[in-house]
Amino acid sequence: MGKRVLVVDDEKLIVKGIRFSLEQDGMEVDCAYDGEEAVELVKNNEYDMILLDVMLPKLTGFEVCQQIREFSNVPIVMLTAKGEDMDKILGLEYGADDYITKPFNILEVKARIKAIMRRTSKKEIAQEETDKVIQSGDMKLDCEGRRVYISGKEINLTAKEFDVLELLILNPNKVYSREKLLKTVWGEDYPGDVRTVDVHIRRLREKIEANPSEPKYVYTKWGVGYFFKA
């Protein structure tokens, strides 16, 4: 069954080109040209991937990403014309999984989409082989449902935040360097740098730790990396 992708950009020629190219690969493609339309489409449809431009009418790409993350963990790739580090990191802070800088080569876009979808498929297969529910103190991780609860309250994590937490909790007390986390969670072909990991760890701690500066779950081993304390 073909994958379904939502392309969000107010430049209709760009949307047309991406849509044509992805449809040639057997994907089903929906299009939106402003932020509000994008949010409504995601609320009413199931997508395997969203390509989301930063500069949009009505709602910015960051606002769209933030709203979608309130109810969905669908992989989101930000499209940015600026290419500045702050824009990239800001996009990740709002819950984006990846970014591509304009102008881009459509082959790069397709390769990035396929890489993310491959990783998603592998995680779904691996998911079936892991324990359904993992309990650690007052934290409960539902691997199959991809949900996290602390003291019975569900914590809303992005897809990548969950992936990082799941990897660490399944390997308690094992220290992962930022480089190793980047390769394991984001993939060998991910072009970003280790700051991506730091951003996600910080956001994860803000959500799961009562006091992020004194964590009781995700620890830092200074000069080495991060680990989950059993």
Read off the pLDDT of residues 152-210 as tens digits, 9 standing for 90 and up: 899 998 888 999 999 999 888 999 999 999 888 888 777 777 888 999 999 999 999 98
Q: Please state the domain count of the chain.
A: 2
DSSP state of 186: I
CA angle in degrees (0–180, nearest 5) for 84-120-34: 50
In this structure, what CATH number is given to the domain that contains residue 146? Answer: 1.10.10.10
pLDDT of residue 86: 63
Distance from C-alpha of 159 to C-alpha of 21, rounded to nearest angstrom = 26
Tokens of 4: 């379904």
pLDDT in tens, 112-134: 888 877 776 655 555 554 557 88
3-state secondary structure of 229: coil
Domain boundary among 69, 99, 122: 122
Domain end among 92, 122, 152: 122
82, 100, 122 - which closes a domain = 122
Same domain, 140 and 58: no
Mean pLDDT of the chain: 85
CB 148 within 8 A of CB 208: yes
Look at the block and give the residue holding tokens 């394991």: 184
Closest CA to 225 of 140, 164, 134, 142: 164
Residues 72 and 152 in one domain: no
Whether residues 97 and 63 share a domain: the answer is yes
* Same domain flag for 87 and 32: yes
- CATH number of the domain to which 106 belongs: 3.40.50.2300
- Whole-structure pTM value: 0.61
Residue % of the chain over a pLDDT of 70: 89
Structure-model confidence comparison of residues 189 and 139, the more confident one: 139
Burial grade of 132 (CB within 10 A; 0-12, 13-18, 19 or more): exposed
